[in-house]
Structure 1
Amino acid sequence: MPFPASVPELTDGVVLLRAHRPTDADGIVGQSNDPASMRWTTVPRPYAGKQAQEFLASIEAGWNAGEGNLHWAICEVSAPERYLGTIDLRERPGGTAEVGFGLHPDGRGRGVMARAVRLLACHYFTERGGRRLYWYAERGNWASWRVAWACGFQHHGLLPLKLAGLADVPGDPARDGWVASVGAEDDLGRPAAPWYVPPVLDGDDIRLRPWRESDSESVEAADHPAHFVPAGAIPTPENWAAWFERRLGVMSRGTSVNWCIADARSDRALGEALVFVHNGSLDAADTAELGYYLFPSARGRGAAKEAARLATAHAFTPREAGGLGLRRLVAETAADNAASNAVLESAGFTRWGHEAAATAPDGSIGPADHWERLAP
């Protein structure tokens, strides 16, 4: 059947995916000129009625050809004439496909796009024989990742220079891309891993709170020995942007909870405390690792000891009470890191092992200590 009869309508009773209509043109123009769309997509610049008509014509041609990119307009069942965005399916050989989507500002903040992705994924898996659906987005596009995360996509990491630059801007460079996917047997109705937002934990002289972009003003040049901490683990004025993105990334994938250690009175960032796993996600673990550090000017006031006690208490608090519900915390230190060893002892950790020739974060070989604490 020719377009639009060839477009199957998909609905969950709240959101409707339907064929595009000529009356969608104004909404497409508005969406394409929205600052967020222009920042994170490759829509033509400038974008006016002419570009919208060309886009609608290409959508019709794709459906009539029955291959390539298949697009649906997104709307709500209660207002099927009101265009809220576009979602498309890009099928590949072998039972895989890619999903792309963009939402008009009028449709944001209500879970519309996550519903649309679930509808399309279910249609692809059950009606078109798909086996795996992939999502790509430019590095840093947290709103797009939040949608994919909510639909059960598993984050696979960063692909350097994966995404093409703007076609209508000569010399525009390629961008680093994130990739995630969901399979036909996966649960589309729930995330594959938690997205942690650190709770605020108040102490006497410090509080543990989420990191903020404005904390960049407090970071200091690192002065720790290279064998104490992995390269890049501590933020500096030079690496702040990449460091902050990595922290958000590991928490969005459920592998870590990262707190800023802040002064209780001024709220100035003093350092970091974290509880993390190297594999899997924290919600599926019974053992995790504790980490911490302070900026040079924050040392000598007991801030790391207080932060370790707060983070440890949260780690052992049952999940049903809002904690991490862990059975055991571990830590590893260089044997000559007296300050870090004192922090662990003050937090109730016991030294259970010693290596005479361990490989340090900088690749050097030297003595290291292993620590643990069990839940009360």
Structure 2
Amino acid sequence: MTDTSQPPADAPRDTPPVVTLTDGVVTLRAHSVDDADAIVEQSTDPESLRWTTVPRPYSREDALGWVEHNLGAWGEPGGTRSWAIEWTDETGAARYGGTIDLRPGAAPSAGELGFGLHPDARGRGLMSRAVRLVVTHAFATPVWGAPVSRVHWRAVVGNWGSRRAVWAAGFSFHGTIPGSHPDPEGGLEALDTWTGSITPGDPLSAQTPWLAPPPIAGERVRLRPWRPDDVDAIEPRHDPEHWMPPRSILRPETFPTWLRTRQERMSEGTAVDWCVADLETDRALGSVTLFSRGGPIGDTAELGYQFFPSARGRGAAKEASRLAVGHALAPAGEGGLGVRRLVAETAADNEASNAVLRSVGFVEFGREHAVDRVAGGGWGDGLHWELLPPGATD
């Protein structure tokens, strides 16, 4: 729903009307001097400071100047279109919830989305609503003199709140751009950014599942999400290099990147990754994962795992794999993934890993000859495994 409202009474003279947008829950309206105190609260909040280049320090005078600038930009043919986000709290009071803007991109047919929420408005799904309103307006209106055919989004890697808002509004993710954003803390190194976009005709809803690792307890181990402090449990390992791709191996020095990569895959619906922890001490013992190599997990998923040396030989890998398999095969309506078939790959000489697969019901269905380069020269075979529960072929 849209309408054209008159500028607020405190707006500069000759300011053009600001287009008001609403879906009945969120209203996007012109900024006002009445928002100034809440703008200061948002702009000095630790999360805002962490992810944005908002001026530091930030005063009420900064907020008033920013409001005036936002209103004036509506009168510029190529100006940014900014809205205040308004929502109704539990008491029925209308509240300032943050800001969202549509900035001119590389051409009049392209826009760039920017937004931020006041701390009190977070965790309520308000931003995804605001994003849908702005995107719908952009595609229905020649904002800068031409139809908008694509709206871009970018955020510093790790800003999961921003990523989730545009994911819920239907944006497609295109990847990571290295060294593409100034460090909000003023560091000398540029930060990486995620990038995505949406075009007319794309559904304004999530296009892929955002998976999460549900806690699952067994008799000796529990599967749970990874935590940053699990890095302290990682042990050196000296397995043959052909048993696992080097980039997948848990190492203390690469753990933050390893963990973020797995979180990204879960946000794309292509994996579920668990930390396998001791049931009594909660100390990390290793990792178990369900994943897909070709897009979101659907009919088939692949099982993978790795364990620290001290966790081997005690049944942890077999139990963790059994729990993960159970989650994979459980119907989606019961909280599982609802897959029909599971697969796995191992090195033929990795007898311990092969025994784990056999213990949970996998059978070998293929062998690749001379596929793995082994230490000391020569080549080793690779094995392919599958698990099809009863009725999977009906």
Question: Deviation per CA, 1:218-247, whole angstroms, max 9, x where unpaired?
Answer: 111232221111113122221111111112
193-202 or 132-141: bigger deviation: 193-202
Per-residue deviation, 1:364: 8.5
Instruction: Identify the residue that residue 16 of structure 1 maps to in structure 2.
Output: 27
335-344 or 234-243: bigger deviation: 234-243
User: In 2 relative to 1, CA 365–3 (structure 1 residues): closer, same or farther, beyond 3 Å?
Assistant: farther
**Paired-residue identity, %:** 49
Question: Deviation per CA, 1:240-269, whole angstroms, max 9, x where unpaired?
Answer: 111111121111111001111111221211
Per-residue deviation, 1:70: 1.2
Alpha-carbon separation, structure 2, partners of 1:138 and 1:320: 34
The two structures have a TM-score, normalised by structure 2, of 0.88
Could you tell me whether the CA contact under 8 Å between 2:88 and 2:94 is conserved in 1? no
Match of 2:203 among 164, 187, 205: 187
Could you tell me whether the CA contact under 8 Å between 2:347 and 2:372 is conserved in 1? no
Within the alignment, does 1:55 sit opposite 2:66 as a pair? yes
Match of 1:310 among 313, 316, 323: 323
35-44 or 80-89: bigger deviation: 80-89
Instruction: Identify the residue that residue 158 of structure 1 maps to in structure 2.
Output: 176
Per-residue deviation, 1:81: 6.4
Aligned 1:205-284 pairs, distance under 5 A: 205-282=220-297
Runs (4+) of structure 1 exceeding 3 A deviation are 1-5, 77-82, 359-365
328-337 or 213-222: bigger deviation: 213-222
**DSSP 3-state at the match of 2:289:** strand
Within the alignment, does 1:32 sit opposite 2:50 as a pair? no
Match of 1:326 among 339, 354, 370: 339
**DSSP 3-state at the match of 2:74:** helix
Could you tell me whether the CA contact under 8 Å between 1:222 and 1:296 is conserved in 2? yes
Alpha-carbon separation, structure 2, partners of 1:15 and 1:361: 60
Structure 1 unaligned segments of length 5 or more: list them: none
Per-residue deviation, 1:332: 0.9
Question: Deviation per CA, 1:186-213, whole angstroms, max 9, x where unpaired?
Answer: 221x311111111222222112222222
Per-residue deviation, 1:58: 2.2
Instruction: Identify the residue that residue 111 of structure 2 maps to in structure 1.
Output: 97
Match of 1:178 among 186, 194, 211: 194
User: In 2 relative to 1, CA 22–364 (structure 1 residues): closer, same or farther, beyond 3 Å?
Assistant: farther
Give the counterpart letter for 1:175 in structure 2. Answer: L
Alpha-carbon separation, structure 2, partners of 1:20 and 1:139: 29
**DSSP 3-state at the match of 1:366:** strand
Per-residue deviation, 1:320: 1.7
Per-residue deviation, 1:107: 1.6
Alpha-carbon separation, structure 2, partners of 1:375 and 1:3: 71
Match of 2:305 among 281, 288, 292: 292
Could you tell me whether the CA contact under 8 Å between 1:227 and 1:364 is conserved in 2? no
Higher relative contact order (CA 8 A, sep 6+): 1
Match of 2:154 among 119, 123, 136: 136
Give the counterpart letter for 1:60 in structure 2. Answer: L
Per-residue deviation, 1:143: 1.3
Within the alignment, does 1:369 sit opposite 2:383 as a pair? yes
Give the counterpart letter for 2:47 in structure 1. Answer: A
Per-residue deviation, 1:361: 11
Alpha-carbon separation, structure 2, partners of 1:365 and 1:96: 52
**DSSP 3-state at the match of 1:61:** helix
Within the alignment, does 1:341 sit opposite 2:357 as a pair? no
Could you tell me whether the CA contact under 8 Å between 2:73 and 2:81 is conserved in 1? yes
Question: Deviation per CA, 1:114-141, whole angstroms, max 9, x where unpaired?
Answer: 1111111111112233222211110111
User: In 2 relative to 1, CA 70–368 (structure 1 residues): closer, same or farther, beyond 3 Å?
Assistant: same
Per-residue deviation, 1:178: 0.7
Could you tell me whether the CA contact under 8 Å between 1:14 and 1:77 is conserved in 2? yes
Aligned 1:342-361 pairs, distance under 5 A: 342-359=355-372
Structure 2 unaligned segments of length 5 or more: list them: 1-5, 7-12
**DSSP 3-state at the match of 1:239:** helix
Per-residue deviation, 1:77: 6.0
Instruction: Identify the residue that residue 56 of structure 2 maps to in structure 1.
Output: 45
**DSSP 3-state at the match of 1:352:** strand
Per-residue deviation, 1:52: 1.7
The two structures have a TM-score, normalised by structure 1, of 0.92
Alpha-carbon separation, structure 1, partners of 2:374 and 2:307: 18
RMSD (Å) for aligned C-alpha atoms = 2.3
Question: Deviation per CA, 1:70-122, whole angstroms, max 9, x where unpaired?
Answer: 11111126878642211000132163211100111122222221111111111
Could you tell me whether the CA contact under 8 Å between 1:73 and 1:83 is conserved in 2? yes
Instruction: Identify the residue that residue 82 of structure 2 maps to in structure 1.
Output: 71
Per-residue deviation, 1:33: 0.7
